[in-house]
């Protein structure tokens, strides 16, 4: 829904979509039926967000819309008009550095094929921000919206808890 | 021939054996992975969508693609007939007069079978075009269970497989007859092992191009090998091998065997590209994947053992019926034969009888899946051990101990021909019990039981084969057939090491990793050989059959990376190092064999000051070839091919060494079953592995926990399930349940290392073992908890409820009113009533006016009247995640004006089909008010039927509610804005 009241979109037409992607304003055109993940990946070229099911179960497509994790496969591109979207490409502080959470994944072997990873990172990034003191039960609960076929989850849980601890330490320092 | 890696580089620690961070990770974590759908495509690339069969078995009477071809953006529509004109049949896995096409030709044989392909400017338009393709099917009876397929009068899938039997072979090793005749006990199990699939999170993808000038195809696909299938694809495309260039993307989102099964789609999309005259890309969606990718086999097994008083097994008698689904696509029936050498598991059993039958059924064709044949044999075998213990009153551990292959027997030749390379199974088992806390687990069980809880302990001992012999599958042929076909054997691994003019090292292997970190491990192995750091080594693992060294065994399967591929890289690097050492010897005035490669330098230990930088030495061949000693081969690039001599073809006695390496696994676990809900809680899971030498402990742990999670899913949740009519019931990830972080506990992983003497680095495979050991270990624990004799997977609470609560009384409602569906179709039925502000005559007039009636059918458009009481329409309906367009035919009958009428109809579309009838009665309850009562029964099939039953019932009620609401609105002349209020009038009385 647009932020400026109801707008009638024409099914056969492309409509301009403008959004802030990882802090940069970008725009493109989308038919009303185009899903947000297709818009991100194939219109904007941000291929870091992955698609595993297109029916809301696997979590691979998770992005943050206005700071809240959401399924890009259950969101139309036109719904994101005017929103702030954060994707995996926006997590690292610099091109040659990883964030604390990303680094923890590397240290603890929290990924194998890495296909599920972008979505999981976006969920955990929000969790660590909202619940800096989260425990294993909360981490597992947050992860329950994601499917990973490679890792068996244990290394992901370890990585998340290690990242939470590291972030708490830097906050105190 | 396991060699000491570090002896000659003077660096005792070495990189191999350390859990260094993976070189793959930084890009993957930052969203810079290069998966197939992330790569750019050539300009002008079009997109394909595939129309799939909603029927399990039907003949195709007509396909009309004219409307689809005329749609905007549509470039081509491919049907089976056109495909047949440009290709040859895929190879069938046995000798029989049967063909196997990657698209349905005139008959569909499973739900999800490709029927047509639309190629359009984008995927959305291609899917639109699918809606416009009209296919008329004549449904045929379907057969789903393997035993039913063999029954007299079963529906026949292929004329060339009489009785649906594709292969029937019997084997005998030792003297099983004598053993069974003299044994004091005969103990057996019967297992229906279910179907599951490893469902990688990334689905299939293919980008194909055709060059008419060269008659050559160029294909990019996330195929995982084995590259023996390259020959199958080239043959199907009717081009010589060098006219099919097959490339893989740098990253692949998991496979677990499954991405072998992309190959029929390579053929389909390649032909679509040829027809469209431009590159064509296809990315499979998840629902296509669940219906149409590939699954593991389900298998019906009767296993009998001749057993001595003390629990020793004197003979085994296997009767296996393998269900390969609708087509027997090569390499199937490989699942049935991959374990042929190790049909006796970890046990020294000398007498074995085997009957192997392969049947076809109206289900998805099968192919590689993690464990490949292991889960299907170890479930019966380890259930048998547990049954022997229970029957003879023995401790199951003692039955295991008495039968294990003894430590002094290695390498041990099994009765069926495998050569078990190394191990000390008894010592590994005792170490697992000691270090895994077995005594504590026994105490927990005793305490739980004392408290009245249902707690059990399970065990499993398995031998995990790895590095498949490319010849094992020919065991399905008789010795005479094999002689005619020529021998097949070996497991060629390749690796190339190149030195560039800057003196840096690149490695290429044909291993096609799917997330296993091959690049990191190869960096470690090669860095150790040259005395460099892994970061100095650049490793490329994607494949290009036009440019890379490869062979039929190339690819990522049968856990062959660490034992075979890493070993080949080590051999290539070592050969180059030997050459470089001879060059350096001249420069340093030393003997080549005393030189040490360490810390980026080459020197002799006695005089480390006299050193040459590795990079300078490595560049010599490029910049100053004239300075090379005369008898030294160019030290520039080396490709090693390595195949183990132990992997010969099956012999005339049908003995086969089906795999090179045999790891050992011993698992035990404690599980508690909730008395009320039947939910299973794994209290503790211990898994002991002997996988030979460990190259990267972190990755080995990752393989074990990942394999364990797959196995847990197979044990507790996953079944690719079909109704008796062949409808797919698990068509979405909401129905096909994959374990999440909430269900997967962390196993305790232990190791007992006995390096393989047959592999260059002493490593064995490790990625698949838990899919073999864990499902049966958990089942044994649950059987122990509940005192069950017979236990089948998956261990759903609904399955256990009979053991917990007794048999469920059948529902009286269902008895009173049998559903109208054919067995297994989803039946919907219900009734209700509504009151409408209109006289019965008014409503009646509407019902007789098909145009007005059409207006009240939810989602109807494009209405065409056929005669007085029949009309045709297109209907768009959304049910849960399944929204689609259907063709509907609706007829009015049994007219009793103005009191009652029967509406019957059928719908048919990409997403499914259905038929049903409803009786509608009208009764005046006032001058301008009518009570409508209705009841309906319907049956649906296809993808729609795979939606959860509750969702489907709810959706049916909503749609019927909408129908009556709009009927009321039309009749009373009210505007649709009142529908919502009218809807509230409807009450369900079912
Ligand atoms: S792709 Fe969105 S949840 Fe799976
Ligand atoms: S790392 Fe492969 S699916 Fe999670």
| Ligand 1 nearest atom to the CA of residue A57, by list position | 3
Cβ distance of A144 and B740 shorter than 8 Å: yes
Cβ distance of A50 and B26 shorter than 8 Å: no
Cβ distance of B732 and A151 shorter than 8 Å: no
Could you tell me the CATH number of the domain that includes residue A110? 1.10.150.120
What is the Å distance from ligand 1's center to A58 Cα?
5
Domain boundary among A71, A90, A109: A90
What is the Å distance from ligand 2's center to B598 Cα?
36
To the nearest whole Å, the CA of A173 is away from the closest chain B CA by 26
In angstroms, rounded to a whole number, what is the distance separating the alpha carbons of residues A116 and A51? 9
* Ligand 1 binding pocket mutation candidate from A56, A65, A118 (most atoms within 8 A of CB): A56
| Domain annotation covers residue A131 | yes
**How much is the CA Rg of chain B, to the nearest whole Å?**
32
User: Is pLDDT at B916 greater than 90 in this prediction?
Assistant: no
- Asked whether residue A107 falls in the same domain as residue A127, the answer is yes
Interface test with A, best of B19, B25, B774, B885 (most A CBs within 10 A): B25
Q: A61 CB contacts (<8 Å, ≥6 apart)? A: A37, A49, A50, A51, A52, A54, A71, A72, A73, A119
Average pLDDT over residues B457-484: 96
| Domain annotation covers residue A2 | no
Please state the pTM of the whole predicted model: 0.90
Q: Which helix (H) or strand (E) holds B318?
A: strand B313-323
pLDDT tens for B329-381 read: 999 999 999 999 999 999 999 999 999 999 999 999 999 999 999 999 999 99
pLDDT tens for B729-759 read: 999 999 999 999 999 999 999 999 999 999 9
B734, burial (CB in 10 Å: exposed 0-12, middle 13-18, buried 19+): middle
What is the Å distance from ligand 2's center to A112 Cα?
5
Q: Which residues in chain B have Cβ-Cβ distances shorter than 8 Å to A144?
A: 740-742
Cβ–Cβ contact A55 with B under 8 A? yes
To the nearest whole Å, the CA of A123 is away from the closest chain B CA by 14
| Ligand 1 nearest atom to the CA of residue A62, by list position | 2
Per-residue model confidence (pLDDT) at position B849: 74
- Asked whether residue A140 falls in the same domain as residue A115, the answer is yes
| Domain annotation covers residue A5 | no
Q: Where are the domains of chain B?
A: 25-32+492-642, 42-147+200-292, 826-989
A110: containing domain: 100-172
Taking a contact as any Cβ pair under 8 Å apart, which residues of chain B between 704 and 723 contact chain A? 705-710
| Domain annotation covers residue A166 | yes
pLDDT, chain B, mean: 91
Q: A101 CB contacts (<8 Å, ≥6 apart)? A: A91, A121, A124, A125, A128, A159, A160, A163, A167
Annotate B752-775 with b (16+ C-beta within 10 A) or e (fewer): bebbbebbbbbbbbbbbbbbbbbb
Is the C-beta atom of A150 inside 6 A of ligand 2? yes
Distances (CA, A) of B409 to B356, B375, B406, B420, B466: 29, 26, 6, 9, 20
In angstroms, rounded to a whole number, what is the distance separating the alpha carbons of residues B575 and B568? 11
SS3 assignment, position B564: helix
Are B42-147+200-292 and B826-989 the same fold in CATH? no
* Contact between A155 and A117 (Cβ < 8 Å): no
What is the Å distance from ligand 2's center to A86 Cα?
21
User: Is pLDDT at B398 greater than 60 in this prediction?
Assistant: yes
pLDDT, chain A, mean: 95
% of chain B residues with pLDDT over 70:
93
Weakest mean pLDDT among A167-171, B22-26, B574-578: A167-171
What number does CATH give the domain B25-32+492-642?
3.30.365.10
Q: How many domains does chain A have?
A: 2
Cβ–Cβ contact B333 with A under 8 A? no
**pLDDT band for position B814 (cuts 50, 70, 90):** very low
In angstroms, rounded to a whole number, what is the distance separating the alpha carbons of residues B149 and B151? 6
Q: Nearest Cβ partner of B733 from A53, A112, A144?
A: A53
Neighbours of B658 (CB within 10 A): 30
| Extended strands (E) in B6-122 | 46-52, 58-64, 74-79, 107-108, 114-120
To the nearest whole Å, the CA of B770 is away from the closest chain A CA by 12
Atom 3 in ligand 2: residue holding the nearest Cα? A148
Neighbours of B720 (CB within 10 A): 22
Write out the CATH class of domain B42-147+200-292.
alpha beta
Question: What φ, ψ does residue A38 adopt, rounded to 5°?
Answer: -65, -40
- Asked whether residue A83 falls in the same domain as residue A107, the answer is no
Residue in chain A closest to B710 (alpha carbons) equals: A149
Atom 3 in ligand 1: residue holding the nearest Cα? A56
Cis peptide before B411 (omega within 30 of 0): yes
* Ligand 1 binding pocket mutation candidate from A47, A73, A117, A146 (most atoms within 8 A of CB): A73
pLDDT tens for A91-123 read: 999 999 999 999 999 999 999 999 999 999 999
Write out the CATH class of domain B826-989.
alpha beta
| Domain annotation covers residue A9 | no
* Contact between B657 and B664 (Cβ < 8 Å): no
In angstroms, rounded to a whole number, what is the distance separating the alpha carbons of residues B598 and B5? 13
Residue in chain A closest to B41 (alpha carbons) equals: A42
In angstroms, rounded to a whole number, what is the distance separating the alpha carbons of residues B772 and B29? 31
Taking a contact as any Cβ pair under 8 Å apart, which residues of chain B between 194 and 253 contact chain A? 198-203, 251-253
User: Is pLDDT at B209 greater than 60 in this prediction?
Assistant: yes
Residue in chain B closest to A74 (alpha carbons) equals: B881
- Asked whether residue A32 falls in the same domain as residue A60, the answer is yes
| Domain annotation covers residue A78 | yes
Sheet of A62-65: strand order equals: A24-30, A15-21, A84-86, A62-65, A68-71
Average pLDDT over residues B116-130: 97
User: Is pLDDT at B815 greater than 90 in this prediction?
Assistant: no
Per-residue model confidence (pLDDT) at position B987: 39
- Asked whether residue A29 falls in the same domain as residue A69, the answer is yes
Average pLDDT over residues B468-497: 95
Per-residue model confidence (pLDDT) at position A4: 57
**pLDDT band for position B654 (cuts 50, 70, 90):** very high
Cβ distance of B742 and A91 shorter than 8 Å: no
**How much is the CA Rg of chain A, to the nearest whole Å?**
17
In angstroms, rounded to a whole number, what is the distance separating the alpha carbons of residues B595 and B588? 9
Of the candidates B104, B146, B99, B715, which has an alpha carbon nearest to the alpha carbon of residue B383? B715
Percent of residues in chain B assigned helix, strand, coil, to nearest 5 = 30, 30, 40
- Asked whether residue A86 falls in the same domain as residue A147, the answer is no
Q: Which helix (H) or strand (E) holds B692?
A: none
| Domain annotation covers residue A6 | no
Residue in chain B closest to A41 (alpha carbons) equals: B38
* Contact between B46 and B280 (Cβ < 8 Å): yes
Per-residue model confidence (pLDDT) at position B11: 46
Weakest mean pLDDT among A57-66, B597-606, B923-932: B923-932
Weakest mean pLDDT among B171-185, B240-254, B290-304, B938-952: B938-952
Taking a contact as any Cβ pair under 8 Å apart, which residues of chain B between 897 and 936 contact chain A? none
Is the C-beta atom of A153 inside 6 A of ligand 2? no
Q: Nearest Cβ partner of B881 from A55, A60, A149?
A: A55
* Ligand 1 binding pocket mutation candidate from A40, A119, A143 (most atoms within 8 A of CB): A119
To the nearest whole Å, the CA of B654 is away from the closest chain A CA by 36
User: Is pLDDT at B989 greater than 70 in this prediction?
Assistant: no
Per-residue model confidence (pLDDT) at position B942: 66
Cis peptide before B794 (omega within 30 of 0): yes
**Sign of the torsion angle spanned by Cα atoms A33, A35, A38, A44:** positive
Per-residue model confidence (pLDDT) at position A1: 44
**pLDDT band for position B833 (cuts 50, 70, 90):** confident
Q: Nearest Cβ partner of A152 from B38, B699, B708?
A: B708
* Contact between B952 and B879 (Cβ < 8 Å): yes
**Sign of the torsion angle spanned by Cα atoms B26, B31, B35, B40:** negative
To the nearest whole Å, the CA of B205 is away from the closest chain A CA by 12
**pLDDT band for position B18 (cuts 50, 70, 90):** very high
| Domain annotation covers residue A7 | no
Ligand nearest to the Cα of A115, by number: 2
**Binding pocket residue ranges, ligand 1, CB within 6 Å:** A 51-54, 56-61, 71, 73
Ligand nearest to the Cα of A121, by number: 2
Q: For chain B, what is the largest distance between any 2 Cα atoms, rounded to a whole number of angstroms?
A: 118
Could you tell me the CATH number of the domain that includes residue A69? 3.10.20.30
In angstroms, rounded to a whole number, what is the distance separating the alpha carbons of residues B76 and B49? 11
* Ligand 2 binding pocket mutation candidate from A57, A108, A116 (most atoms within 8 A of CB): A116
User: Is pLDDT at B396 greater than 90 in this prediction?
Assistant: yes
* Contact between B703 and B765 (Cβ < 8 Å): no
**pLDDT band for position B263 (cuts 50, 70, 90):** very high
Cβ distance of A50 and B202 shorter than 8 Å: yes
- Asked whether residue A42 falls in the same domain as residue A80, the answer is yes
Sheet of B313-323: strand order equals: B165-173, B351-359, B313-323, B298-307, B185-193
A36 or A6, greater pLDDT: A36
B120 or B890, greater pLDDT: B120
Is the C-beta atom of A115 inside 6 A of ligand 2? yes
Cβ–Cβ contact B698 with A under 8 A? yes
* Ligand 2 binding pocket mutation candidate from B28, B201, B517, B698 (most atoms within 8 A of CB): B201
Percent of residues in chain A assigned helix, strand, coil, to nearest 5 = 40, 15, 45
Taking a contact as any Cβ pair under 8 Å apart, which residues of chain A between 29 and 48 contact chain B? 31, 33-34, 41, 46-48
- Asked whether residue A118 falls in the same domain as residue A80, the answer is no
Taking a contact as any Cβ pair under 8 Å apart, which residues of chain A between 87 and 146 contact chain B? 87-89, 91-92, 95, 98, 102, 105-107, 109, 111-118, 121, 139-141, 143-146
Residue in chain B closest to A111 (alpha carbons) equals: B25
**Sign of the torsion angle spanned by Cα atoms B210, B211, B216, B220:** negative
Cβ distance of A102 and B30 shorter than 8 Å: yes
């Amino acid at each position: 829904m647009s932020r400026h009241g109801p707008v009638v979109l024409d099914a056969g037409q492309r409509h301009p979509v403008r959004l802030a992607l990882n802090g940069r304003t970008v725009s493109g055109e989308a038919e009303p039926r185009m899903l947000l993940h297709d818009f991100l990946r194939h219109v904007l070229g941000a291929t870091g967000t992955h698609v595993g099911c297109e029916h809301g179960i696997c979590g691979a497509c998770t992005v943050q819309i206005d700071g809240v994790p959401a399924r890009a496969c259950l969101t139309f591109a036109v719904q994101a008009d005017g929103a702030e979207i954060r994707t995996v490409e926006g997590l690292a502080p610099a091109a040659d550095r990883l964030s604390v959470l990303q680094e923890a994944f590397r240290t603890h072997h929290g990924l194998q094929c890495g296909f599920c990873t972008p979505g999981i990172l976006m969920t955990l990034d929000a969790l660590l921000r909202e619940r800096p003191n989260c425990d294993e039960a909360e981490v597992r609960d947050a992860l329950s919206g994601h499917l990973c076929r490679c890792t068996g989850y244990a290394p992901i849980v370890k990585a998340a808890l290690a990242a939470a601890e590291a972030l708490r330490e830097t906050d105190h320092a | 021939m396991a060699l000491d890696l570090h002896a000659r580089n003077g660096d005792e620690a070495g990189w191999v054996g350390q859990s260094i961070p993976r070189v793959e990770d930084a890009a993957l974590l930052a969203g810079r992975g290069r998966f197939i759908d992330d790569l750019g495509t050539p300009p002008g690339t079009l997109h394909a969508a595939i129309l799939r069969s909603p029927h399990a078995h039907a003949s195709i009477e007509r396909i009309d693609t004219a409307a689809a071809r005329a749609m905007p953006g549509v470039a081509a529509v491919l049907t089976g007939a056109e495909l047949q004109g440009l290709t040859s049949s895929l190879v069938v896995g046995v000798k029989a007069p049967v063909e196997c096409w990657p698209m349905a030709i005139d008959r569909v044989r499973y739900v999800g079978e490709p029927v047509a392909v639309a190629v359009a400017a984008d995927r959305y338009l291609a899917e639109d075009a699918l809606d416009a393709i009209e296919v008329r099917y004549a449904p045929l009876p379907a057969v789903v269970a393997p035993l039913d397929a063999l029954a007299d009068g079963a529906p026949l899938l292929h004329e060339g497989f009489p009785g649906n039997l594709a292969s029937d072979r019997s084997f005998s090793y030792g003297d099983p007859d004598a053993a069974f005749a003299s044994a004091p006990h005969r103990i057996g199990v019967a297992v229906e092992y279910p179907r599951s699939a490893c469902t990688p999170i990334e689905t299939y993808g293919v980008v194909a191009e055709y060059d008419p000038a060269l008659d050559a195809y160029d294909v990019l696909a996330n195929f995982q090998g084995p590259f023996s299938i390259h020959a199958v694809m080239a043959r199907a495309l009717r081009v010589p091998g060098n006219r099919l260039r097959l490339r893989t993307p740098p990253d692949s989102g998991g496979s677990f065997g499954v991405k072998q099964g992309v190959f029929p789609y390579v053929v389909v999309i390649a032909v679509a590209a040829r027809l469209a005259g431009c590159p064509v890309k296809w990315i499979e969606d998840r629902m296509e994947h669940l219906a149409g990718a590939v699954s593991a086999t389900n298998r019906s097994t009767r296993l009998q053992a001749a057993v001595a008083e003390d629990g020793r097994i004197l003979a085994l008698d296997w009767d296996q019926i393998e269900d390969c689904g609708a087509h027997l696509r090569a390499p199937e029936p490989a699942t049935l034969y991959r374990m042929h050498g190790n049909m006796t598991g970890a046990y020294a059993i000398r007498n074995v009888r085997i009957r192997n039958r392969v049947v076809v059924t109206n289900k998805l064709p099968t192919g590689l899946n993690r464990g490949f044949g292991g889960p299907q044999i170890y479930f019966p075998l380890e259930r048998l051990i547990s049954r022997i213990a229970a029957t003879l009153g023995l401790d199951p551990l003692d039955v295991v101990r008495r039968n294990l292959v003894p430590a002094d027997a290695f390498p041990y030749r099994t009765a069926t021909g495998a050569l078990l390379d190394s191990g000390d199974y008894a010592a590994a088992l005792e170490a697992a019990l000691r270090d895994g806390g077995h005594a504590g687990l026994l105490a927990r069980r005793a305490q739980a039981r004392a408290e009245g809880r249902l707690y059990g302990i399970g065990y499993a001992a398995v031998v995990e084969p790895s590095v498949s012999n490319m010849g094992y599958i020919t065991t399905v042929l008789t010795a005479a057939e094999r002689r005619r076909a020529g021998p097949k054997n070996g497991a060629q691994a390749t690796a190339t090491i190149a030195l560039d003019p800057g003196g840096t090292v690149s490695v290429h292997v044909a291993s096609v990793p799917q997330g296993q970190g091959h690049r990191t491990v190869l960096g470690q192995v090669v860095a150790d050989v040259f005395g460099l750091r892994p970061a100095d080594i650049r490793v490329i693992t994607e494949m290009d059959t036009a440019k890379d060294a490869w062979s039929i065994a190339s690819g990522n399967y049968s856990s062959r990376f660490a034992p075979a591929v890493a070993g080949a890289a080590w051999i290539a690097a070592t050969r180059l190092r030997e050459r470089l050492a001879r060059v350096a010897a001249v420069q340093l005035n030393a003997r080549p064999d005393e030189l040490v490669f360490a810390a980026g330098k080459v020197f002799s230990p006695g005089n480390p000051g006299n050193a040459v930088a590795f990079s300078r030495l490595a560049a010599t061949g490029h910049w100053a070839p004239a300075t090379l000693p005369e008898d030294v081969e160019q030290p520039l690039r080396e490709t090693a091919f390595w195949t183990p001599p132990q992997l010969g073809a099956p012999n005339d006695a049908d003995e086969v060494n089906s795999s090179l390496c045999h790891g050992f696994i011993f698992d035990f676990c404690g599980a508690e079953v909730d008395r009320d809900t039947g939910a299973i809680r794994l209290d503790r899971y211990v898994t002991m592995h002997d996988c030979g030498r460990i190259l990267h402990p972190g990755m080995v742990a990752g393989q074990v926990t990942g394999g364990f999670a797959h196995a847990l899913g197979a044990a507790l949740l996953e079944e690719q399930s079909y109704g008796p009519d062949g409808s797919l019931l698990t068509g979405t990830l909401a129905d096909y349940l994959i374990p999440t972080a909430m269900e997967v506990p962390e196993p305790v992983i232990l190791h007992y290392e006995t390096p393989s003497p047959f592999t260059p680095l002493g490593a064995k495979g490790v990625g698949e073992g838990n899919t073999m050991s864990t499902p049966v270990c958990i089942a044994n624990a649950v059987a122990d908890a509940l005192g069950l004799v017979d236990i089948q997977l998956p261990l759903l609470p609904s399955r256990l409820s009979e053991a917990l609560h007794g048999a469920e009384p059948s529902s009286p409602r269902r008895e009173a009113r049998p559903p109208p569906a054919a067995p297994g179709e989803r039946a919907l039925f219900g009734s209700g009533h509504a009151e409408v502000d209109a006289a019965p005559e008014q409503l009646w007039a509407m019902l007789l006016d098909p145009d007005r009636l059409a207006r009240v059918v939810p989602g109807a458009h494009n209405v065409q009247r056929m005669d007085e009481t029949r009309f045709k329409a297109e209907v768009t309906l959304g049910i849960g995640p399944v929204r689609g367009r259907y063709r509907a035919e609706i007829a009015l009958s049994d007219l009793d004006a103005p009191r009652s009428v029967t509406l019957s109809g059928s719908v048919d579309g990409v997403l499914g089909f259905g038929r049903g009838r409803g009786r509608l009665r009208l009764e005046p309850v006032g001058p301008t008010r009518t009570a409508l009562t209705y009841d309906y029964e319907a049956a649906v099939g296809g993808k729609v039927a795979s939606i959860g039953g509750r969702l489907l019932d709810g959706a049916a009620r909503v749609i019927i509610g909408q129908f009556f609401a709009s009927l009321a609105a039309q009749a009373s002349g009210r505007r649709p804005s009142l529908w919502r209020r009218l809807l509230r009038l409807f009450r369900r009385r079912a």
